[in-house]
A = this chain, B = another copy of it.
């Protein structure tokens, strides 16, 4: 079944107002949940909404809190999110990084004590829509062993890099594990194998079996030792710059709340967009694997899904949609 963007947004907003969200916060969070669904990222859209509602009811999200600037050093700022809704604070922080970049060429906001921002890419699209290069990251609960180790000690800390382009922004939104737990479950439910190794089985061998990996909890960092190192470095960046919780400190609390995030912007109003155009064109000029398929730039698929769903309506899981309607 399909639902319009407006209908999704209206229902999310209705529920959030019922949960005592102020009007601005309800509108902003509802818009982002609807946008993530429209772009096909259901795990951080419709399908996540009931979980978000439960977190609010459990008191993990401080509905009335406002993020606060606690320190400034030139074009860099440090904020305390005071556990306000993560999407709200992330949007405000990226807005501020954009304003700093517009005025000074570059700007950066590091936020501690904030909450899950849902889809990382959201804030890359936001920066690019404002004509800025946007770079952002968050830490998470530990869910991946470091290279050489067997126990989850690293987060899936996504890295987002977005570059504005009139024909469609380039938006890389890349988590540090080859497959998220959500993706592993998706493959498992469909009874499908992973296209490439995604972790280890109980014998310590690389495997394409999602069930085995969910059992061992030994997901694979992208590029083995490289993604392991990058995940650690992103945790150090977001926690050090915000003076906030580390992946380890989030993990011991048992819930993914009070995380640390970073929002960095570079003013891109002077860049020549034909450069990125030529890079995309050159990349796509490669021969194709088995003569078929497609070479895509980061963000291209999201944009295609967005355009398709904006026109024809957003396909939804009927069961979850009914759940939301009943909230």
- Residue contact A297 to B103, C-beta cutoff 8 Å: no
Contacts of A74 in B (CB 8 A): 75, 103-106, 267
* C-alpha spacing A295/B247, complex, angstroms: 17
Q: Which of A3-11, A34-42, A51-59, A222-230 contacts B (4 or more CB under 8 A)?
A: A222-230
- Residue contact A73 to B287, C-beta cutoff 8 Å: no
* C-alpha spacing A174/B105, complex, angstroms: 27
Residue of B whose beta carbon sits closest to that of A292:
B148
A248 at the interface (CB under 8 A from B): yes
Say how far A177's CB is from chain B's closest CB, in angstroms: 9
B interface footprint on A248-272 (CB within 8 Å = 1, 0 otherwise): 1100000000000000001110111
Say how far A280's CB is from chain B's closest CB, in angstroms: 8
- Residue contact A150 to B286, C-beta cutoff 8 Å: yes
* C-alpha spacing A273/B243, complex, angstroms: 10
- The interface on chain A, measured as residues whose beta carbon lies within 8 A of the other chain's beta carbons, has a size of 81
A279 at the interface (CB under 8 A from B): yes
A133-B237, A145-B286, A297-B232 known; A266 and B76 CB under 8 Å? yes
A233-B298, A236-B163 known; A275 and B243 CB under 8 Å? yes
Residue of B whose beta carbon sits closest to that of A269:
B73
* C-alpha spacing A287/B150, complex, angstroms: 5
* C-alpha spacing A288/B267, complex, angstroms: 44
- Residue contact A240 to B295, C-beta cutoff 8 Å: no
Residue of B whose beta carbon sits closest to that of A276:
B236
Say how far A55's CB is from chain B's closest CB, in angstroms: 24
Residue of B whose beta carbon sits closest to that of A293:
B148
* C-alpha spacing A242/B74, complex, angstroms: 23
A–B Cβ pairs within 8 angstroms, 27 of them: A71-B270, A76-B106, A76-B266, A76-B267, A106-B108, A146-B283, A147-B295, A149-B295, A152-B286, A153-B285, A154-B283, A161-B233, A172-B230, A174-B223, A174-B229, A178-B223, A178-B226, A223-B227, A229-B297, A232-B280, A232-B283, A232-B297, A236-B279, A246-B275, A247-B279, A248-B282, A249-B278
Taking A161-B230, A240-B268, A243-B272 as known contacts, 4 extra A-B pairs with beta carbons closer than 8 A to each other, sorted by chain A number, are A73-B267, A76-B105, A151-B287, A174-B229
